[in-house]
Chains A and B, each alone.
Chain A
Amino acid sequence: MMLLKNLLKAAVRSILRNRLRSLLTALGIIIGVSAVIIMVAIGQGSEAQIEQQISALGTNVIIVFPGASRMHGVSRGAGTKNRLTVNNVKELKKECTLISAISPVVRAGAQVIGGGNNWNTSIEGVSTDYFTIRNWTCKYGRLFSDKDIRANKKVALLGNTVAQELFPGENPTGERIRIRNVPFTVIGVLQVKGQNAFGRDQDDVILAPYTTVLHRLKGGRYINMMIASSVSMDQIDAAQQQMTAVLREAHRLAPGEPDDFRIRNQAEITQAASQTSRVMTLLLGAVAGVSLIVGGIGIMNIMLVSVTERTREIGIRLSVGARSSDVLIQFLAEAVVLSLIGGTIGILLSFSVAFLMNQFTDLYTLINPGIVVLAVLFSGAVGVFFGYFPARKAANLNPIDALRYE
């Protein structure tokens, strides 16, 4: 319809005519929309990141550390020595029906020489179960086998970072490296894992049979920790209890005597981590909510301040034969167009900020489409509401009263 087209044209002209006012109005919406989207994206991004990092730990993981368990912040059994052994691992594997895999972890820091370069990294002696528990796969070559472990084979799997440092741009499978002067053969390179939940590079590692590490590099009987998988997520607490009982018996602990090891499962770690990140999301959400309100108030101010001028304009339009409804439609269209433009710019802005953050900062952002819709609807509603109601009041005036308005 011709008239409607004219009203839209009038709306667009009015927006262009009052550039500063339009800009400020749109700015309120832009700030509101982008603040909400970005804040929530940061919150949810870090939540997702933590979750992902925790799941990267492995599946249904239970970890056993040496040392006294701490309860209520008080160490019970100070001076307890490390009594975790490979035999404990074997016993657990045999006795615990609720765990599907378990591996010792024997750690040794060492200077590694290979390909004419050297690199300081951590050597982890593990069993084949470790690959299953932590979902490690090979990028090149092969994983080592139980046969390699039984035979104390001097074979090594390089983490991607180590591989890049020693043999940049090459496939080092079959190359020889020296760890603390012990020659090892590289049998493969591990798939890239990236950083873990605590910011450590998980690819800066060499995996080798625990037997070899224990005998050739470290010496002694004690292992640094155990890592196990329960048969399912539901059984993780039961599996942990089973392991505790078996270990206590193996260590001949009398009832009432404190554990001489610490045992933690993934559920606990996940819970603790996601609790903090939820608090953070909430906090960010609150900040975003405040900026949305501030944006809304900005819009309201501008709309109210311009009422004087607009009322005269409305008077002029009414006096040349516009109906109240014509004026209202125009103003509504104006508010909607401004809100749409502001909302679109707000979305684009927040998307690019989120993108830049992902690229150049440690913050990981995850944009939530629901929040995008919500933010746009809310600020649009604010724009329309505050654009509409002052206009409605003015449009219902007598033309002559509107013209005389001061």
Chain B
Amino acid sequence: MPHVIKMKRVTKTYRMGDMSVQALRGIDLEVERGEFLAIMGPSGSGKSTLMNLLGCLDKPTSGEYFLDDVNVSGLSKNEYAGIRNEKIGFVFQTYNLLPRTSALENVELPLFYDRTGRIKNPKQAAVEALARVGLGDRLHHEPSQLSGGEQQRVAIARALVNQPAIVLADEPTGNLDTRVSIDVMSVFQELNQEGITVVLVTHEPDIAVYTNRIVKIRDGIIRQSTAVLKPGNAKKDLEAYRDPVEDELEKAGQ
């Protein structure tokens, strides 16, 4: 099976007392190995809910979910933790780094809980992951000493360090300005070109153009799936990028 992800009729209902919200109403989704997928949709449409299920951070109410050929639907809590540790790298909108902890230690964190012994030298793996996201010179910086973009790079490095089958990112550029967003996208693009499957959520079409396929979701159902015919090149765009405010200032100065 070439599919890294295969979801069949997955639903998710949140219960709060006697109220219940059906956030997902039957998702069928397949993601091939090496794909770079963007999930888009209006606020409250269920994107984060879907990502959390994909990332095994939460369990679906019904339906089947195959991740890397493993049916994870019926797994125990500890097995879920194992799947998260082995097969998934998750990037959050709010970075979710441990405060007062160096970039290196943050990236090392998933390897702390590695029960497979796949990665022989955790520290070296963490250094390499940080180098891959261009932070080879920021190993000992703590989150408070890093810019938002840099913190998100640390989070991406942490998502990479366990050599996951898939990297999931829920609005990874949601807290970043345009230039830094493109910068972060260039990191994802590079990783994808190296063969890593990436699924990300974004609101911004400008960001989605750097992926290969866009899935649109509304009211908990996938409405549309379109291939991006000519994906942008984030690295090039970044070089050509001109800050509108700077432009204005420059014009005013002349």
Interface residues of A (CB under 8 A from B): 2-3, 6-7, 9-10, 13, 17-18, 309, 312-313, 315-326, 398-400, 403
The contact string, 1 if C-beta is below 8 Å from chain A, for chain B 200-224, is 0000000000000000000000000
- Do B78 and A17 touch (CB < 8 A)? no
Cβ of B109 and Cβ of A316 under 8 Å apart?
yes
Closest residue on chain B to residue A322 by CB atoms: B113
- Asked if B81 lies at the interface with its beta carbon under 8 angstroms from chain A, I say yes
A sample of 19 inter-chain contacts (CB < 8 A) reads A2-B117, A7-B112, A17-B101, A309-B99, A312-B96, A315-B96, A316-B109, A319-B55, A319-B84, A320-B85, A320-B113, A321-B83, A321-B86, A321-B162, A323-B77, A323-B113, A324-B78, A400-B52, A400-B58
How distant is the Cα of A316 from the Cα of B81 in the complex, in angstroms? 12
Point out the residues of chain A lying under 8 angstroms from B171, CB to CB. Answer: none
Instruction: Give Cα A322–Cα B113 distance, bound, in whole angstroms.
Output: 5
Q: Which residues of A contact B158 (CB under 8 A)?
A: 320
B57 touches A18 (CB 8 A): no
Residues of B within 8 A of A18 (CB): 100
Question: How many Å from the CB of B81 to the closest CB on chain A?
Answer: 4
Q: Which residue of A has the minimal Cβ distance to B97? A: A316
Q: Are A318 and B52 in contact (CB under 8 A)?
A: no
Return B170 CB to nearest CB of chain A, in Å. 10
Interface size class of B (residues with CB under 8 A): 20 to 34
Contacts of A399 in B (CB 8 A): 57-58, 84
Pairwise interchain contact B112-A403, C-beta atoms closer than 8 A: no
Residue B227 at the chain A interface, CB threshold 8 Å: no
- Among A309, A323, A324, A398, chain B packs the most CB atoms within 10 A around the CB of A323
| Structural contact, B57 and A398, CB atoms closer than 8 A | yes
B75 interface residue per 8 A CB criterion: no
> What is the distance, in angstroms, from B16's C-beta to the closest C-beta of chain A?
12
Complexed CA–CA distance, A113 and B207 (Å): 107
CB neighbours of B162 from chain A (8 A): 320-321
Q: Which residues of A contact B88 (CB under 8 A)?
A: 321
A312–B84 CA distance with the chains assembled, in angstroms? 17
- Which residues in A have their C-beta under 8 angstroms from that of B85? 320-322
| A312 and B83 alpha carbons, distance in the complex (Å) | 21
B156 CB to nearest chain A CB (Å) = 13
